Amino acid sequence: MAEPAEGGPPRLDFPAPGRATITLARPAQLNRLHRADLLALQAHCERLAAEPGLRVVVLRAEGRLFCAGFNLTELGSGGTAAADDPQLFERTVDALAALPVPTLARLHGGVHGGAVDLALACDFRVGDAGLQLRMPAARIGLHYYPGGLRRAVSRLGLAAAKRLFLLAEVLDAAQLRELGYLDVVVAAEALDAEVERIAAALLGGAPLALSGMKRSLDEIAAGTADAAVLALRVQRCATSTDLQEGLAALADKRPPRFEGR
């Protein structure tokens, strides 16, 4: 399939030590996700999963809204993600959710269709006060993929998931905050500052504790937690250099210098 002319696949940048940014980069197309974009996102996630020293990943977008979802013109047409690889979108979002470091979605303007799950795969979501969200699957006859439904139920609860997927209504930022989809709602001009505040807080945490607890919390929410695995993570942190440094920094009343070991 030919590469869409306007914009390009998501970019991966490393703006500061320990930090990565993924940017959706098709603003003229409202950042609709094409096959090339999904493949690029998977490649970025593969690299980030093995990136030494990484502490936090921010997902953001160019243009007037975050993302209009999957490019529906590819549905049912030969040689596309939908026709030849129906699990491509699901695997892409699962790869983002599985990143070992905390992730943060910067949401502005609108979040529609598949972008609803893309942002939900992140650990935190910050939205501007003018944000609107809609999941139109029921209105176009689409049964959403199981991974996205499970994620919505485990992270938002059954009632909120049914509201998102069955009613297909437009939800504003205040409603999304009430449902638990947004962690924080701020004015548009304060969005970047709030993202920086949360990213800084995550950068200041101990990497072993953050990555271990992220995985444990997700597994507990999904009902897949293994007590032995959780105990190993607890023990790893209990015997870590990071814990020794954290206790020393607390006693010395100074910021800790964690090394992730």
In this predicted structure, what is the pLDDT of residue 85? 72
In this predicted structure, what is the pLDDT of residue 83? 53
Residue 3 in any domain: the answer is no
Residue 44 in any domain: the answer is yes
In this predicted structure, what is the pLDDT of residue 1? 38
* 67, β-bridge pairs: 111
Q: How far apart (Å, rounded) are the C-alpha atoms in residues 133 and 65?
A: 10
In this predicted structure, what is the pLDDT of residue 2? 41
The number of beta carbons lying within 10 Å of the beta carbon of residue 191 is 21
Nearest to 48 by CA among 97, 113, 119: 97
Total structural domains within the chain? 2
127 and 31 part of one domain: yes
147 and 213 part of one domain: no
Measured in whole angstroms, the distance separating CA 34 from the mean position of its chain's CA atoms is 18
Q: How far apart (Å, rounded) are the C-alpha atoms in residues 261 and 57?
A: 20
In this predicted structure, what is the pLDDT of residue 94? 96
* Domain hosting residue 227, numbered range: 207-252
In this predicted structure, what is the pLDDT of residue 74? 67
Residue 257 in any domain: the answer is no
Could you say which residues of the chain have pLDDT below 50? 1-5, 77-82
Contact 125, 182 (CB under 8 A): yes
175 and 231 part of one domain: no
17 and 143 part of one domain: yes
Strand ranges in the chain using DSSP code E only, listed in sequence order: 8-16, 19-25, 56-61, 103-107, 110-112, 124-128, 132-134, 171-172, 184-186
In this predicted structure, what is the pLDDT of residue 75? 58
Nearest to 45 by CA among 112, 94, 7, 95: 95
Structural tokens at position 44? 């970025």
